[in-house]
Structure 1
Amino acid sequence: MTARNRPVAVLAMTADLPDLLFTPALRRRLAEDVELGPGPVLQEFDSAPARAALARAEVLITGWGSPRITAEVLDAAPALRAVVHTGGSVKGHVSRECWERGILVSSSAAANALPVAEYALAWILLAAKGARRLEHTYRTRRAAVDRNAEFPHVGAYRRSVGIIGASRIGRRVIELLRPFDLEVSLFDPYVTAAEAAALGVASATLPDLLTGSDIVSLHAPALHSTRHMIDAAGLARMPDGATLINTARGSLVDQEALVAELLTGRIDAVIDTTEPEVPPPDSPLYTLPNVVLTPHIAGAQGNELLRLGESAADEVHRYVTGLPLAHPVVVHDLARIA
């Protein structure tokens, strides 16, 4: 492919993100497929420089912080044929007009699913061992802990794990759990019992999963139908000593009900996402000994961002060589994906 017939690609994301996504070698690889101009990384689409860049763009490579691609923006980008997103969900910036105009849309959600699933796996195993409570007891007591007498029910052998949501991440978690001696069940209204069996797990209703699981890991999308799907009644169903792991979205859980349940000390929680995104300074979540609270780190962080960049570069290569996209986002899936 010569320089003259390479399509023009424009970056739309926060200014610091390209250096985190693309190594010099990966930039050179991109440059073989597209003309990636020296102009600014677009953080808005309204200025004259932004409109000049859009006017030439055939491929828009987007990331966190990308402005929304509205019908007006598309009018300013008559040559646009593909939007390749370096993050997971495209709902925040890709409008339905893109699909209505036949523009291809791709996401790196599959690449971002890997670190989330790994993070969930790590905490499932640590929760089975009772690691958080044992760590807190040992650290605060500063003396020997009689593990068998005080924590007789910990251990990862034949513990029951409930997965909520057979999303990319949920399916990857199920796959990662296969080598372990755990009993895994799944709740997903879109997955039949036969499909669950093919995944190697038992199908369950949400109430039954909550009642019968020592560890519950959330992997459902944030939709109107999933808001507060884990409410006070659901939390009350969880067995004493159970652990709730949320690496999905804070809106899936009624946080007021969760805090109330956690204050009793009856269950544990590993919380990577909350609603609001950062709890208020006086939230008990910061200090409760039965809570692991992390600032939304399960997804791609640090060098894991390079995986997202590589995924996007692969999609750009597929586009310019006429191959189908490996990770297309289609409009009829919008109602049920994150």
Structure 2
Amino acid sequence: MSRIASVVSVSPTLRAEFFSPAAWETLGTLTDVLLVDDPATLGATLDARTGAASSGPSRAEVLVISWGTPRLDAALLDRMPGLRLVAHTGASVKPFVTPELFARGVRVTQAGQGMAQSVGEVSVVFAMALLHQLPRFHHGLASGASWEDAEDAPPRYEIAGTRVGVIGASRTGRAAITMLRALGAEVVVADPTLSAADARALGVALVSLDDLLSTSRITMVHAPTLPETHHLVGARELALMPDGAGLVNTARSWLTDEDALLREVASGRIDAALDVFDAEPLPVDHPLRTLPNVLLTPHHAAATVQGRLRQGAIVVEEIGRFLAGEPLQHEVDAAALTRTG
């Protein structure tokens, strides 16, 4: 009997980043692979390959997806009647999955755990940059300010002994907590799903959101994207932050009121370091780009060499577990979609 077929809807560039030679060889050992070089053309590619002898879509039981893949609606799923598993090389599967997918009994897994370390590292780097006033110093020198003007900045702080608040003990939040504690920071967490016992195990103090915001010199946002977390940090919450405090967001702009944040940072009262924005790409004339107390990166906190390879390895490992009848370690079910970002 021939092996099962898999459809890999990942661009050649991302395939090279996600899958080491060993991981790709393993995938080829587990399945007959049908490649879709442009995820946006998944439906057309499946139509063109219908009836292929070795790995036609009708035989596909596994679908590997990446960014740009269309939503897996009934029309797409009808092209893969034997589909049993969807494995996303990224984190959030919300842009892709539909109720129809779960109604057909298709299971879903994702590789978000592979991003946790890299995004957590960027969060910690952001925190340290704000504590040491690096955005202001860089902006002053890069803009042509005099040496005296460039070195004029508010007091700087070391991370050791500084209170850092983490909103959300997510995968990335926990990675950041581990690093922050190793650096000697005093870490407090606000997360309604975290038990007191779990907080003790993480070595953090569990506090209310208002307490966290009003007492932390740096606040990191790592909460999931849910209806109830929309603008979790809004104008009222930002006003609670002490003068000179900093906000770090490498999660989703959904979690913060960007307009309210812009008003606060433009006033100079607080600082910010952001990897995510309401509009992406961030418009070239956006006022955030000009502020000396703001550090910006273009939504690339997760895109490290090691992180991408971890993501690919997770996908291949999950496919191996699925085919062996073993429990999946990163499965997302229909209920989980209402709880995770």
TM-score, with length taken from structure 2: 0.89
CA distance in 2, matches of 1:120, 1:38: 35
Q: Is the 8 A contact 2:190 2:212 kept in 1?
A: yes
Separation in 1 of the partners of 2:43 and 2:88?
20
Summarize the Cα distance change of 1:33–1:226 in structure 2 as closer, same or farther, 3 Å threshold: same
Moved more, 266-275 or 7-16: 7-16
Distance 2:259 2:149 in 1: 33
CA contact (8 A) 1:45 1:51 kept: no
Match of 1:329 in 2: 332
Q: Are residue 175 (structure 1) and residue 174 (structure 2) matched?
A: no
Deviations 1:251-308 (A, max 9, x none): 2111111111111111110011011223333322111000011110112245642221
What's 2:300 paired with?
297
Tell me which moved more, 183-192 or 277-286. 277-286
Instruction: Give the number of equivalent residue pairs.
Output: 334
> What is the root-mean-square deviation in Å for CA atoms of aligned residues?
2.4
Cα distance, 1:290–1:38 mapped onto 2, change above 3 Å: closer
- Pick aligned residue for 2:286 from 273, 283, 287: 283
Q: Which residue of 1 aligns with 2:147?
A: 143
> Structure 2: any 5+ residue segments left out of the alignment?
none
Gap regions ≥5 residues in structure 1: none
The amino acid of 1:9's aligned partner reads S
Q: Given the alignment of the two structures, is residue 11 of structure 1 paired with residue 14 of structure 2, yes or no?
A: no
TM-aligned CA deviation for residue 85 of structure 1: 1.0
Aligned residue runs from structure 1 range 42-191, under 5 A: 42-47=39-44, 48-49=47-48, 53-137=56-140, 141-143=145-147, 151-191=154-194
Cα contact 1:130–1:155 (8 A) shared by 2: no
Q: Compute the displacement of 1:15 (Å).
A: 5.4
Deviation at 1:42, TM superposition (A): 4.8
Query: Residues 165 and 50 from structure 1, CA distance in 2 versus in 1: closer, same or farther, beyond 3 angstroms?
Result: farther
Instruction: Give me the whole-angstrom Cα distance separating, in 2, the residues matched to 1:254 and 1:150.
Output: 26
Contact 1:218 1:248 in 2 (8 A): yes
Question: Please, what TM-score do these two structures have when normalized by structure 1?
Answer: 0.90
Question: How far, CA to CA, are the matches of 2:4 and 2:31 in structure 1?
Answer: 5
| 3-state secondary structure, aligned to 2:233 | coil
Return the alpha-carbon distance in structure 1 between the equivalents of residues 309 and 105 of structure 2.
29
Deviations 1:121-166 (A, max 9, x none): 112222233332344456655436898x964452223111010111
Separation in 2, partners of 1:109, 1:190: 19
What displacement does 1:39 show? 6.6
Report if aligned partners of 1:167, 1:220 keep a CA contact under 8 Å in 2. Answer: yes
1:310 matches 2:313:
yes
